[in-house]
Amino acid sequence: MTTPFTPRHWSSRFAFLMAAIGSAVGLGNIWRFPYLAGENGGGAFILIYAATTLAIALPILISEIMLGRMGKQSPINAMRALIAEHKAARFWMLIGWGGIAGAFVVLSYYSVIGGWALKYVELALTGAFSGETEAAAADHFSTFVADSGSLMIWQTLFLVITAGIVAAGVTGGIERAVVMLMPLLFILLAAMAVYATTMPGFGAAMQFMLAFDFSEVTPGTVLAAIGQGFFSVSIALGTMMTYGAYLDEDVSIGQSAIVIAVADTAVAILAGIAIFPLVFSYGLEPSSGPGLTFITLPIAFGTIGNGVVIGGAFFILLTVAAVTSAISLLEPIVAWIEEGVHLSRKWLAIIVGAAAWVAGLGTVFSFNSWSDFHPMARFGVMEKMTVFDVLDFTTANLVMPTVGLLIALFAGWVLSGPVVEGALGARGKAWFPWWRFALRFIAPLGVVSIFVANVLM
Ligand code: PHE
């Protein structure tokens, strides 16, 4: 270690859990999961999602937190230390480099969409949705995204909040923010879900969410579920490794990972319970894709009795979820640079935040001036994709599966059984052999299959 820096250590298991759940619960749960479930037939998708998350994402989550705690530094330096200690090949540095690079790219586009959520808080609270028709809602959204200047303003605001929290340090910033924001998020979500049970469309919504209609299930559905599970529990981008590095030795990683994965899945399902009754009560389309949150819901908020309150609460919830995920994307990068450079964390958060802002411009322009620019037109699958689509596709479908696979192989095959058993404090625990089997066989096969199918499809 070349520079001393502000202490990076969770002050309690609760703080770690709130930070990790804060990372996992994000746009992925509240924006992406309901529309994916909506597009993929509802209940059957939810069931497959739960199964693949348990069998594939959870074992990798345990490994990632474990590697972080073993290495005790940012992903790049933790991997360097582990490789030296266990005489492994330099090749495994890809876990660190790939994670950090992926985190930067995801942060760049995540901040743009996080900015939309902020903008919609303003719209909801000022009553802008009142009397919204379907056409007006679509128009509202397309007018907003067509204006790059306004997207930049909201992207900036979102990044300022994110960088501000990371700048204040692990204990003084991240921990303080998550222990306050995560309970708020749970309360808002629970209140919305309870409210949804009183809506006329509740029955239809439950039927939709519980319809295990497997005739609609294709290999594509399974792949979408696996990909969503990775993104949703925040694996493979160095986040969980970094948060694991700040964790005390006596905290059980296996138990913690189960709490994180269960909370993450519960939030996704609660978000569905909060959202679909609104959609069904107003005869709207459950499978309206990414526009579900920003076009379909405002119509319901504009019609419903307490639309300003309910709509405001919903978009505040979405913003909180996005911010606590964005800080977990920024922290690994800041932590890494902090370990090698004589600059304060404050400056590093500002510099990396500014760099993510510049990189995010590609996403900003994807919705307006560059909407017809298809940078990867030469590659079949990416032919019609905008810059934003390419970034989202390559991180979620290429970088995350690759890094996730490497984590599974490194923790499952390179590190010996006794080493990982010790690192997890799992001697004699009944779940240990199950975890190791899932890590060595099920997770790699699952990941390789998403990878191949996504590239071929
Ligand atoms: N899990 C976050 C979400 O669901 C996204 C994320 C992925 C955050 C990876 C950090 C690391 O929105």
348-351 contacts at long range (C-beta below 8 A, 24 or more positions apart): 349/163, 349/164, 349/166, 349/167, 350/163, 350/167
Q: Does 111 contact ligand 1 (Cβ within 6 A)?
A: no
What confidence tens digit (pLDDT) does each residue in 18-36 have? 999 999 999 999 988 888 8
239 CA to middle of ligand 1, Å?
Answer: 9
Check if the beta carbon of residue 79 is closer than 8 Å to that of residue 92: yes
233 CA to middle of ligand 1, Å?
Answer: 6
- Ligand 1, residues 58, 162, 234: which to mutate, most atoms within 8 A of Cβ? 234
Of 208, 110, 206, 196, nearest to 159 (Cα)? 110
Q: How confident is the model at residue 1 (pLDDT cuts 50, 70, 90)?
A: very low
Q: Does 31 contact ligand 1 (Cβ within 6 A)?
A: no
pLDDT at 2 over 60: no
Check if the beta carbon of residue 417 is closer than 8 Å to that of residue 424: no
Check if the beta carbon of residue 124 is closer than 8 Å to that of residue 312: yes
What is the number of the ligand 1 atom nearest to the C-alpha of 31?
12
Tell me the percentage of the chain whose pLDDT exceeds 70: 97
Q: How far apart are CA 332 and CA 194, in angstroms?
A: 36
Burial class (CB in 10 A: 0-12, 13-18, 19+), 272: buried
136 CA to middle of ligand 1, Å?
Answer: 31
> pTM for the full model?
0.94
Q: Does 237 contact ligand 1 (Cβ within 6 A)?
A: yes
Q: Does 27 contact ligand 1 (Cβ within 6 A)?
A: yes
Of 85, 89, 67, nearest to 76 (Cα)? 67
24 CA to middle of ligand 1, Å?
Answer: 5
Question: Could you tell me which residues come within 8 angstroms of residue 343 by beta carbon, excluding any fewer than 6 positions away?
Answer: 337, 351
Q: Which of 58-62, 132-136, 346-350 has the lowest mean pLDDT?
A: 132-136
Q: Does 256 contact ligand 1 (Cβ within 6 A)?
A: no
Q: Letter for the amino acid at 65?
A: I
247 CA to middle of ligand 1, Å?
Answer: 20
Question: Could you tell me which residues come within 8 angstroms of residue 363 by beta carbon, excluding any fewer than 6 positions away?
Answer: 108, 109, 112, 387, 388, 391
26 CA to middle of ligand 1, Å?
Answer: 6
Check if the beta carbon of residue 88 is closer than 8 Å to that of residue 416: no
User: Given its phi and psi angles, is residue 74 left (phi above 0), alpha (psi -120 to 50 degrees) or beta?
Assistant: beta
What confidence tens digit (pLDDT) does each residue in 185-244 have? 999 999 989 989 999 999 999 988 888 777 777 777 787 788 789 899 999 999 999 999
279 CA to middle of ligand 1, Å?
Answer: 25
Q: For tokens 């200047």, what's the residue? A: 149
Q: Does 332 contact ligand 1 (Cβ within 6 A)?
A: no
- Ligand 1, residues 33, 232, 260: which to mutate, most atoms within 8 A of Cβ? 232
pLDDT at 40: 80
pLDDT at 268: 92
Taking the alpha carbons at both ends of the chain, their separation in whole angstroms is 45
Of 430, 434, 329, nearest to 59 (Cα)? 434
pLDDT at 439 over 80: yes
Q: Which of 40-44, 107-111, 212-216, 364-368 has the lowest mean pLDDT?
A: 212-216
